[in-house]
Amino acid sequence: MRALTWRRPAEPEELVARLQRAEPAAIGEVYDHHHEAVRAFAMRLLGDAAAAEDLVHEVFIRLPKLIGKYRGDGTLRSFLTGIAANHARHHIRGAQRRRAAGERLGVQQQHEPGQVADPEREAQSRQLLAALNRALDGLPDAQRIAFVLCEVEERSAAEAAKIVAVPEATMRTRLFHARKRLRAQLEEEVR
């Protein structure tokens, strides 16, 4: 597999022009710089590694056609996140089915092994994460996206609204309802 090395980012206009021409090298550069952020968002939104990889793949495949809409008013990373948010819907369904099937069979998501300083805390964290994924499955997609952008990724409502191209008031409303439902469900599970 190709090693992922850091390179100095190209000038935005030049990079956008190369992306519009669907130059593989340009798409590779953008991938190298932003794949972690896009994948993190995809994982947080979908809760399933395979679905997240599919969504990441779709984002970068669609990028040449959609880059024409990038006005430079936000970062390229936010633009990529917006593509992921707008194309996540059918991946959400697939991830839900896969997660539900995994839970029925007792199969747990494989996480990257690492050095765990506090196994008990790690186990609690995983349990809470599983509960949150279950609770997110009960939300409408728009509220789910709002929650992940604002609460998990700690973006402001204004930034999140710009990413999914809705008014800020709409984003705040979605976030409010999402928080209310999730809190109630998590408190029920944790009790």
Partner 1 sequence: MTDPDVLRKAAAAMREQYDGKQTAAGFTRARIMRSLQTRRRRSFGMWGVLTPAALLFIGSTAWASATGRLPQWVEHVVAAVRPAPVIPAEAPRPVPVVDQRVSPPVRSAPLAPSSVATTEVPQPSSELQVTSPQPTAGPSLAGKPARPAEPARVAKRVAPAAVEAPVLPTLAPPSELPPPVRPPPDPEIAAFRHAHQTHFGTGSPQRAIAEYQRYLASYPTGRFVPEARYNIALNWVKLGRHAEARQALSGFALGHYGPYRRAEARALLEALDVAAEQRTRP
- Residues near partner 1, by CB under 8 A: 1-4, 22, 24, 27-28, 31-32, 35-41, 43-44, 49-50, 52-54, 56-57, 60-61, 64, 98, 110-112, 125-126, 128-129, 131-132, 147-148, 151-154, 179, 182-183, 186-187, 190-191
> Least Å distance between CB 132 and partner 1?
4
Question: Looking at beta carbons only, is 52 or 161 nearer to partner 1?
Answer: 52
> DSSP states of 108-126 as a string?
PPPPPP---S-HHHHHHHH
> Least Å distance between CB 4 and partner 1?
7
Question: Looking at beta carbons only, is 71 or 83 nearer to partner 1?
Answer: 83
> Least Å distance between CB 119 and partner 1?
14
Q: Are the CB atoms for 179 and 151 separated by under 8 Å?
A: yes
> Least Å distance between CB 18 and partner 1?
13
Question: Looking at beta carbons only, is 1 or 167 nearer to partner 1?
Answer: 1
Question: Looking at beta carbons only, is 17 or 152 nearer to partner 1?
Answer: 152
If one counts every other C-beta atom within 10 angstroms of the C-beta of residue 54, the result is 17
What does the CA dihedral 44, 50, 53, 57 come to, rounded to 10 degrees? -130
If one counts every other C-beta atom within 10 angstroms of the C-beta of residue 35, the result is 16
> Least Å distance between CB 178 and partner 1?
10
* CA 176 to the chain's CA centroid: 20
Q: How far apart are CA 36 and CA 39, in angstroms?
A: 5
User: What are the DSSP E strand ranges found in 38-121?
Assistant: none
Question: Looking at beta carbons only, is 119 or 167 nearer to partner 1?
Answer: 119
Q: Are the CB atoms for 70 and 83 separated by under 8 Å?
A: no
> Least Å distance between CB 153 and partner 1?
7
Question: Looking at beta carbons only, is 106 or 167 nearer to partner 1?
Answer: 106
* CA 145 to the chain's CA centroid: 8
